[in-house]
């Protein structure tokens, strides 16, 4: 009978807490469960806290109770208090992850103890360690089922914190190819240059569709990813972009204004030693190997 | 006035004017301006030789004199010395625009430096009297000369004025008056070249040629960027620009579309007739800023922005140079920095989509080669270890252009040096070939038998012939490269020409 009664009380308390997702203060709690002496109420709350149904916070000097995430409660079942604390800290960090030193500072656990707990949790596949792209030595922990944030993983361009320059290069080339297919339409278009220009433009969404259809990327590329690639094309001088009246950005492949100038057609223009070359000394134009090779082509 | 320029000038003078002139020229280059006595002293050459050299230099406008009272200083004009390697381009330009006669006139005039019209035409006519292929007559020559003078490719040389009581002449620029040459007088002069009394002297107007070169670059750029018709529109715009603005103006006066339409009727491009306004609009928006809409009066007005065009072209040159020297990734960084004006290292990495290490390396390489500059920003004056400084990278275009120009000078010098080396190495064989050719030419003139001509030709052994063919090919390659470099320099100087 008494068991039943406690269950009822717990139910009531939980319902009260669930209704107020922002948390409920002790006085409000007493109002929600009126026909209960405060001693019993405290007892019931303590029990719930122990079982991990409730969380307790201190706000403006008053105690606040909050409902705890059901899922996490299940996961930590059977874990001891330290593990729970660590787990909670990691959970709070969400997909940004949390650094081991931060955990240590916040949990006040000793280093060997903490390592042991983290290992334990990792082996249970509750959390995972993710390497940060910005600092190669820095490892952050987050829940196992979370996708790391872009600032941690670097987005589509990173694989295990290594920048995939080849992937970027390939995409860069494919985007350019797509733009090139259209670019010729501006040339002597019988319907006039403005129509031609419009036909030679491509929006980022079109490019993204083209790339996705090609199926070269295992990762799903967002439009903003494609925009980054298109921007590299602009920095390569192979494309230009304009804004349409409706605010969308369009891209067009262009050619450089002049063919390669004379300086890069002669060996000296690309010679790494040009600044060391002089009339006398070790490096002279008279017996320059590069020059002779170029002449004998 | 750099070390590289000095080396190049010396090399060019050596090639075209010989060693003595080179010595004098080099001396003048190093010391700025100095009087004859000083040149004699520092070069150790006899006074007569120095005077002779100075005469040569002054005749071809490679040097000038400055008189302060009785004291005369001489000064080298290095930029004019560089023009010597541009001569083939002038000739080519003439040949393609006005035909063979014009080419011959300009060639002769370039060789003579200054010459009176009558003498010039008579000399050419006499020289090619027997040449049946060219079929020159003094009348066509005269007409070409007049049209060249009208188009300002040639102009009157400055006239020397001697003030009373002074022995130093004063060169005064005179306005060019298109001459009225009498064909009969020319005919008479041809028969008797000694008593020509024409005393109006002419010289080549380099500036006019340079305007042509500039127009050509701009038209070609538009053609590459949009299409042929856009190139044609650019040509029309430039044509109109000459009518209303100074040739080297940073920005032309507004050109009304109606005028363009008028002149576009003369061309046979159908697209142009139908879509002139559209082309102008596209060129304004996508033509890299070569033109700008200036107003709506008279159906719209456009300006040619020569200065902007020069800047863009120079940037393009630099991009090419960076691409070839450090790779396309470096070019991406270079362009990125230029686009963002001032940018931090981390932002470069983020936008260039390059691996951190590679990006850093390339940025430092660019910095090392002086294509970009860095501006450290410190919050406080003291340098403290903990505080991380902010380093902003940026492109100082003017300085980058100078770096590029120095490289051009160095390359030109090296090519010239290699050429000299090549010629001196195979000097004997080349000499022999020349001699054989002269003999054969003489024999042909005397119409001797084919057999004896062959005998002479066979004095060149097959290995020698092979070697000569190779040398000839290499020399040709070197001259082509020189001309290309000169084109490159032209763009750079065009940019630097605007203050």
pLDDT at B449: 80
Above 50 in pLDDT, residue B477? Answer: yes
Mutate to test the interface with B, among A175, A188, A193, A231 (most CBs of B within 10 A): A193
> What order of strands is seen across the sheet that includes strand B373-377?
B343-344, B390-394, B373-377
Distance in angstroms (rounded) separating the CA atoms of residues A194 and B264 = 19
pLDDT at B384: 59
8 Å CB contact between B439 and B430: no
Above 60 in pLDDT, residue B319? Answer: yes
**Token pair for residue B448?**
């001797």
Average per-residue pLDDT for chain B: 85
- In a 13 Å sphere around the CA of B499, the CA atoms on its Cβ side amount to 1
Residue of A nearest to B279 (CA): A193
Distance in angstroms (rounded) separating the CA atoms of residues B400 and A172 = 28
8 Å CB contact between B359 and B334: no
Q: Could you tell me which residues are beta bridge partners of residue A163?
A: A158
Distance in angstroms (rounded) separating the CA atoms of residues A109 and A88 = 14
Distance in angstroms (rounded) separating the CA atoms of residues B12 and B28 = 15
Above 70 in pLDDT, residue B464? Answer: yes
8 Å CB contact between B105 and B148: yes
Verify whether the Cβ–Cβ distance A163 to B354 is below 8 Å. yes
Distance in angstroms (rounded) separating the CA atoms of residues A242 and B286 = 9
Above 70 in pLDDT, residue B462? Answer: yes
| Mean predicted confidence (pLDDT) in B271-281 | 79
CA distance B44 to chain A (A): 22
Verify whether the Cβ–Cβ distance B229 to A188 is below 8 Å. yes
> ipTM of this model?
0.76
Residue with tokens 């430039």: B238
Distance in angstroms (rounded) separating the CA atoms of residues A200 and A182 = 5
* Other residues' Cβ atoms within 10 Å of the Cβ of residue B257: 19
Q: Could you tell me which residues are beta bridge partners of residue A93?
A: none
CA distance A255 to chain B (A): 6
Mutate to test the interface with A, among B410, B415, B482 (most CBs of A within 10 A): B410
DSSP secondary structure letters along A36-102: S-HHHHHHHHHHHHHHTSEEEEEETTEEEEEEPPHHHHHHTTT--HHHHHHHHHHHHHGGG-EEHHH
Above 80 in pLDDT, residue B223? Answer: yes
Using the CB atoms, write b or e for B47-65: b if 16+ within 10 Å.
Answer: eeebeebbebbbebbbbeb
pLDDT at A107: 79
Q: Would you say the C-alpha torsion A146, A149, A152, A156 has a positive or negative sign?
A: positive
- Which is more confident, A26 or B66? B66
Distance in angstroms (rounded) separating the CA atoms of residues B195 and B180 = 19
Distance in angstroms (rounded) separating the CA atoms of residues B214 and B484 = 15
Distance in angstroms (rounded) separating the CA atoms of residues B318 and B304 = 23
**Token pair for residue B366?**
């660019």
Angle, helix A223-235 to helix A165-183, in steps of 10 degrees: 80
Q: Which of B352, B414, B415 sits opposite A235 (nearest CB)?
A: B352
Please compute Rg for chain B using Cα positions. 28
- In a 13 Å sphere around the CA of B88, the CA atoms on its Cβ side amount to 10
Q: Would you say the C-alpha torsion B254, B257, B262, B268 has a positive or negative sign?
A: positive
Distance in angstroms (rounded) separating the CA atoms of residues A236 and B117 = 53
CA distance A270 to chain B (A): 5
Q: In what helix (H) or strand (E) does residue A276 lie, and over which residues does it extend?
A: none
Choice among A61-75, B192-206, B450-464 with the minimum mean pLDDT: A61-75
Helices (H), chain A: 2-19, 26-32, 38-51, 70-75, 81-93, 100-107, 111-123, 150-153, 165-183, 193-200, 204-214, 223-235, 262-265, 289-295
**Percent of chain B scoring above 90 in pLDDT:** 19
Q: Pairing state of beta strands A162-163 and B343-344?
A: unpaired
pLDDT at B128: 79
- In a 13 Å sphere around the CA of A297, the CA atoms on its Cβ side amount to 10
Distance in angstroms (rounded) separating the CA atoms of residues B106 and B98 = 11
φ/ψ (deg, to 5) at A281: 110, -160
Tens of pLDDT, residue by residue over B37-47, are 888 999 889 99
Read off the pLDDT band of B240 (50, 70, 90). Answer: confident
8 Å CB contact between B207 and B136: no
8 Å CB contact between B190 and B138: yes
Read off the pLDDT band of B3 (50, 70, 90). Answer: confident
Choice among A114-118, B336-340, B392-396 with the minimum mean pLDDT: A114-118
Whole-model pTM: value is: 0.79
Distances (CA, A) of A17 to A36, A53, A133, B422: 16, 10, 40, 95
Q: Would you say the C-alpha torsion B364, B369, B373, B379 has a positive or negative sign?
A: positive
pLDDT at B492: 92
Distances (CA, A) of B495 to B13, B113, B372, B427: 26, 28, 18, 40
Chain A residues close to B481, C-beta within 8 Å = 262, 265-266
- In a 13 Å sphere around the CA of B258, the CA atoms on its Cβ side amount to 5
Verify whether the Cβ–Cβ distance A258 to B421 is below 8 Å. no
Verify whether the Cβ–Cβ distance A235 to B336 is below 8 Å. yes
Above 70 in pLDDT, residue B14? Answer: yes
**Token pair for residue B101?**
């006669």
pLDDT at A242: 83
Distance in angstroms (rounded) separating the CA atoms of residues B84 and B13 = 9
pLDDT at A5: 63
8 Å CB contact between A35 and A13: no
- In a 13 Å sphere around the CA of A38, the CA atoms on its Cβ side amount to 5
Q: What is the DSSP letter of A247?
A: S
CA nearest to B311, candidates B496, B448, B172: B496
CA distance B412 to chain A (A): 9
Distance in angstroms (rounded) separating the CA atoms of residues A91 and A111 = 20
Residue with tokens 């057609």: A265
Q: Which of B319, B411, B481 sits opposite A237 (nearest CB)?
A: B319
Verify whether the Cβ–Cβ distance A261 to B415 is below 8 Å. no
- In a 13 Å sphere around the CA of B195, the CA atoms on its Cβ side amount to 5
DSSP secondary structure letters along B275-322: HHHHHHHHHHHHSTTSEEEEE-GGG-EEEE-HHHHHHHHHHHHHHHHH
- Which is more confident, B431 or A220? B431
**Token pair for residue A234?**
């602009």
Chain B residues close to A173, C-beta within 8 Å = none
pLDDT at B461: 83
- Which is more confident, A261 or B199? A261
**Token pair for residue A61?**
């000097």
Chain B residues close to A157, C-beta within 8 Å = 353
Distance in angstroms (rounded) separating the CA atoms of residues B334 and B374 = 13
Verify whether the Cβ–Cβ distance A268 to B414 is below 8 Å. yes
CA nearest to B54, candidates B75, B83, B31: B75
Distance in angstroms (rounded) separating the CA atoms of residues A130 and B23 = 71
What are the start-end ranges of the E strands in B361-437? 373-377, 390-394
Distance in angstroms (rounded) separating the CA atoms of residues A83 and B81 = 84
Q: In what helix (H) or strand (E) does residue B60 lie, and over which residues does it extend?
A: none
Q: Could you tell me which residues are beta bridge partners of residue A55?
A: A66
pLDDT at A1: 43
Tens of pLDDT, residue by residue over A145-160, are 777 776 666 666 776 6
pLDDT tens, chain A, 297 aa long: 455 666 777 777 777 777 776 677 777 777 777 777 777 777 877 877 777 677 777 777 777 777 766 555 555 556 677 777 788 888 877 777 788 888 888 878 888 888 888 888 888 777 877 777 666 667 778 877 777 776 666 666 776 666 777 888 888 888 888 888 887 777 777 777 778 788 888 888 888 888 888 877 777 777 888 888 888 888 888 888 888 777 788 888 888 888 888 888 888 888 888 888 888 888 888 888 888 888 887
CA distance A259 to chain B (A): 9
Residue with tokens 């035909």: B99
| Mean predicted confidence (pLDDT) in B202-213 | 90
Distance in angstroms (rounded) separating the CA atoms of residues B311 and B306 = 9
- Which is more confident, B333 or A157? B333
**Token pair for residue A100?**
């081991």
pLDDT at A78: 60
**Token pair for residue B262?**
């008028």
φ/ψ (deg, to 5) at B18: 95, 175
pLDDT at B495: 92
Verify whether the Cβ–Cβ distance A193 to B319 is below 8 Å. no
């Amino acid at each position: 009978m008494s068991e039943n009664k406690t269950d009822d009380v717990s139910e009531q308390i939980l319902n009260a807490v669930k209704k107020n997702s922002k948390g409920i203060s002790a006085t409000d709690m007493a109002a929600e469960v009126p026909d209960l002496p405060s001693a019993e109420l405290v007892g019931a709350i303590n029990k719930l806290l122990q079982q991990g149904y409730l969380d307790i916070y201190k706000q403006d000097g008053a105690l606040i109770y909050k409902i705890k995430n059901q899922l996490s409660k299940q996961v930590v079942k059977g874990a001891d208090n330290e593990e729970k604390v660590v787990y909670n800290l990691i959970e709070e960090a969400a997909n940004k992850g949390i650094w081991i030193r931060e955990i240590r500072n916040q949990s006040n656990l000793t280093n060997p103890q903490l390592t042991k707990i983290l290992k334990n949790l990792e082996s249970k596949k509750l959390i995972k360690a993710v390497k940060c792209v910005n600092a190669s030595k820095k490892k952050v922990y987050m829940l196992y089922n979370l996708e790391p944030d872009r600032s941690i993983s670097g987005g589509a361009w990173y694989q295990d914190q290594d920048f995939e320059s080849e992937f970027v290069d390939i995409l860069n080339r494919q985007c350019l190819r797509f733009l090139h297919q259209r670019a010729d339409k501006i040339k002597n278009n019988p319907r006039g240059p403005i129509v031609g220009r419009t036909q030679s433009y491509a929006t980022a969404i079109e490019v993204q569709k083209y790339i996705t259809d090609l199926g070269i990327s295992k990762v799903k590329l967002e439009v903003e990813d494609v925009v980054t690639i298109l921007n590299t094309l602009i920095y390569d001088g192979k494309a230009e972009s304009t804004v349409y009246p409706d605010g969308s950005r369009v891209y067009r492949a262009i050619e450089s204004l002049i063919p390669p100038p004379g300086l890069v057609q002669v060996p000296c223009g690309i010679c790494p030693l040009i600044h060391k070359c002089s009339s006398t000394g070790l490096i002279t134009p008279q017996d320059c190997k590069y020059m002779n090779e170029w002449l004998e082509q | 006035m750099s070390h590289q320029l000095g080396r190049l000038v010396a090399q060019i003078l050596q090639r075209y004017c010989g060693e003595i002139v080179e010595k004098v020229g080099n001396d003048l280059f190093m010391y700025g301006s100095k009087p004859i006595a000083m040149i004699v002293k520092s070069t150790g050459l006899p006074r007569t030789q120095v005077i002779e050299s100075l005469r040569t230099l002054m005749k071809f406008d490679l040097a000038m004199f400055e008189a302060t009272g009785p004291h005369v200083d001489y000064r080298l004009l290095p930029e004019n010395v560089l023009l010597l390697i541009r001569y083939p381009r002038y000739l080519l330009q003439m040949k393609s625009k006005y035909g063979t006669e014009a080419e011959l006139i300009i060639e002769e005039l370039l060789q003579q430096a200054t010459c009176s019209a009558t003498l010039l035409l008579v000399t050419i006519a006499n020289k090619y009297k027997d040449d049946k292929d060219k079929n020159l007559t003094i009348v066509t020559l005269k007409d070409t000369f007049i049209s060249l003078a009208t188009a300002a490719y040639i102009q009157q040389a400055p006239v020397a004025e001697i003030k009373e009581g002074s022995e130093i002449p004063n060169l005064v620029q005179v306005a060019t008056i298109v001459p009225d040459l009498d064909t009969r007088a020319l005919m008479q002069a041809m028969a008797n070249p000694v008593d020509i009394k024409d005393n109006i002297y002419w010289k080549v107007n380099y500036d006019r040629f340079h305007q042509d070169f500039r127009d050509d670059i701009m038209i070609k750029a538009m053609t590459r960027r949009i299409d042929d018709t856009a190139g044609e529109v650019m040509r029309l715009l430039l044509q109109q620009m000459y009518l209303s603005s100074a040739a080297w103006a940073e920005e032309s006066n507004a050109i009304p579309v109606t005028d363009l339409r008028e002149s576009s009727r003369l061309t046979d491009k159908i697209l142009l007739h139908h879509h002139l306004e559209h082309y102008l609009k596209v060129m304004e928006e996508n033509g890299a800023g070569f033109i700008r809409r200036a107003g709506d009066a008279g159906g719209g007005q456009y300006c040619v922005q020569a200065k902007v065009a020069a800047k863009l072209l120079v940037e393009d040159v630099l991009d090419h140079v960076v691409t070839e020297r450090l790779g396309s990734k470096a070019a991406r960084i270079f362009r990125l920095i230029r686009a963002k004006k001032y940018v931090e290292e981390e932002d470069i990495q983020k936008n260039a989509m390059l691996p951190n290490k590679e990006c850093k390396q390339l940025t430092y390489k660019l910095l090392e080669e002086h294509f970009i500059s860095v501006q450290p920003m410190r919050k406080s004056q003291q340098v403290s270890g903990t505080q991380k400084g902010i380093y902003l990278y940026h492109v100082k275009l003017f300085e980058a252009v100078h770096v590029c120009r120095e490289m051009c000078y160095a390359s030109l010098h090296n090519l010239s040096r290699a050429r000299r080396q090549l010629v001196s190495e195979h000097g004997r064989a080349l000499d022999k070939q020349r001699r054989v050719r002269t003999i054969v030419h003489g024999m042909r003139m005397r119409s001797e038998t084919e057999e004896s001509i062959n005998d002479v030709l066979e004095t060149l052994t097959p290995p020698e012939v092979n070697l000569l063919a190779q040398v000839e090919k290499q020399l040709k390659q070197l001259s082509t490269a020189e001309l290309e470099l000169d084109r490159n320099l032209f763009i750079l100087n065009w940019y630097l020409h605007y203050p």
